[in-house]
């Protein structure tokens, strides 16, 4: 039994503000296109079944798990990955800073997906309460932190982006 050869398809998309293209098999997953063709390895693979969210990217204004999307499905799309999150001057964005200040990460493997999800969450709801944050990130698994400091990291970022003060410390 051999697999029939399928022709490759040309895809073009904008990733982190740069237009990229590639000649891909129709079955190539977006996460592999990002990680292997574009060499943007910050987007991770943790389960291949869209449970863990380590592969979350921002796709045309939505949080999407890139392990269950084909690259050919997003032809023409606008994508942002963790590599596009820092401020233009290279400093950490409010969310990245929040994760560091609030100890919202340990092994760092879920962190890019978590930050990408939090980024979209704060666009949808700039001032979420704890319950809304917990619901908002429930598609992203973390095995290290127990989420408590991730919630604080997102609150920290929300406060910073809203120009208000966040007084709590990581715990």
Partner 1 sequence: MNDITLTREEREAKLEGLGCRRKRVEDIRFTQGKGNYVDDLKLPGMLHGDFVRSPYAHARIKSINKDAALKVPGVLAVLTAEDLKGVNLAWMPTLAGDVQMVLADGKVLFQGQEVAFVVATDRYAADDGVVAVDVEYEALPVLIDPFKALEPDAPVLREDIKDKMDGAHGPRRHPNHIFEWTVGDKELTDAAFSKAEVAIKELISYQRVHPSPLETCQCVCSFDKIKGELTIWGTFQAPHVIRTVVALIAKLPEQKIHVISPDIGGGFGNKVGAYPGYICAAVASIVTGKPVKWVEDRIENLTATSFARDYHMTAEIAATKEGKVTALRVHVLADHGAFDACADPSKWPAGFFNIVTGSYDFPTAYVSVDGIYTNKAPGGVAYRCSFRVTEAAYCIERAMDILAQKLGMDPAELRMKNFIKPEQFPYHSALGWEYDSGDYQTALNKALETVKYEDLRKEQAAKREAFRRGETREIMGVGVCFFTEIVGAGPSKNCDILGIAMFDSCEIRLHPTGAGIARMGTKSQGQGHETTYAQIIASEIGIPAEDITVEEGNTDTAPYGLGTYGSRSTPVAGAAIATAARKIKAKAQMIAAYRLEVHEDDLEWDVDGFRVKGLPEKFMSMKDICWAAYNSVPPGMEPGLEAVSYYDPPNMTYPFGAYVCVMDIDVDTGVYKVRRFYALDDCGTRINPMIIEGQVHGGLTEAFAIAMGQEIRYDETGNVLTGSFMDFFLPTAMETPHWETDYTVTPSPHHPIGAKGVGESPNVGGVPAFSNAVNDAFSFLGSTHIQMPHDFWRNWQAAKRLGVTG
Determine the Cα–Cα distance for residues 28 and 8; give it in Å rounded to an integer. Answer: 10
Question: How many chain residues bind partner 1 (CB under 8 A)?
Answer: 66
Identify the residue among 149, 155, 156, 157 touching partner 1 (CB under 8 A). Answer: 149
Identify the residue among 9, 20, 45, 161 touching partner 1 (CB under 8 A). Answer: 45
Q: Is residue 20 a contact residue for partner 1 (CB under 8 A)?
A: no
Q: Is residue 108 a contact residue for partner 1 (CB under 8 A)?
A: yes
Determine the Cα–Cα distance for residues 91 and 154; give it in Å rounded to an integer. Answer: 17
With H, G, I as helix, E, B as strand and everything else as coil, classify residue 151.
helix
Least Å from the CB of residue 64 to partner 1 = 16
How many beta carbons lie within 10 A of that of residue 111, not counting itself?
A: 25
Determine the Cα–Cα distance for residues 52 and 45; give it in Å rounded to an integer. Answer: 8
Outline where 11-110 has alpha helix (H). Answer: 30-32, 94-101
Q: Is residue 105 a contact residue for partner 1 (CB under 8 A)?
A: yes
Least Å from the CB of residue 55 to partner 1 = 11
Identify the residue among 56, 63, 66, 145 touching partner 1 (CB under 8 A). Answer: 145
By residue count, the chain amounts to: 171
Cβ nearer to partner 1, comparing 74 with 145? 145
Continuous segment of H or E residues that includes residue 11: strand 9-15
DSSP-derived letter for residue 96 is H
Contacts with partner 1 by CB under 8 A lie at: 1-3, 5, 25, 27-28, 32, 35-36, 39-49, 51-52, 54, 81-83, 85-86, 92, 96-97, 99-101, 103, 105-112, 115, 133-135, 137-151, 169-171
């Amino acid at each position: 039994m051999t697999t029939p050869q399928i022709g490759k398809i040309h895809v073009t998309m904008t990733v982190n503000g740069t237009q990229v293209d590639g000649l891909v098999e129709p079955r190539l997953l977006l996460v592999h296109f990002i990680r292997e063709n574009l060499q943007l390895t910050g987007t991770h693979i943790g389960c291949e079944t869209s449970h863990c969210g380590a592969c979350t990217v921002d796709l045309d204004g939505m949080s999407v798990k890139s392990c269950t999307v084909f690259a050919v499905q997003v032809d023409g799309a606008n994508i942002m990955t963790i590599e596009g999150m820092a401020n233009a001057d290279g400093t950490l964005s409010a969310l990245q800073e929040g994760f560091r200040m609030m100890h919202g990460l340990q092994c760092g493997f879920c962190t890019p997906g978590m930050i990408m999800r939090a980024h979209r969450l704060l666009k949808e709801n700039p001032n979420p309460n704890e319950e809304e944050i917990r619901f908002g990130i429930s598609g992203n698994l973390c095995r290290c932190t127990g989420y408590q400091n991730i919630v604080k990291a997102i609150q920290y970022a929300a406060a910073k982006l809203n120009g208000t003060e966040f007084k709590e410390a990581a715990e």
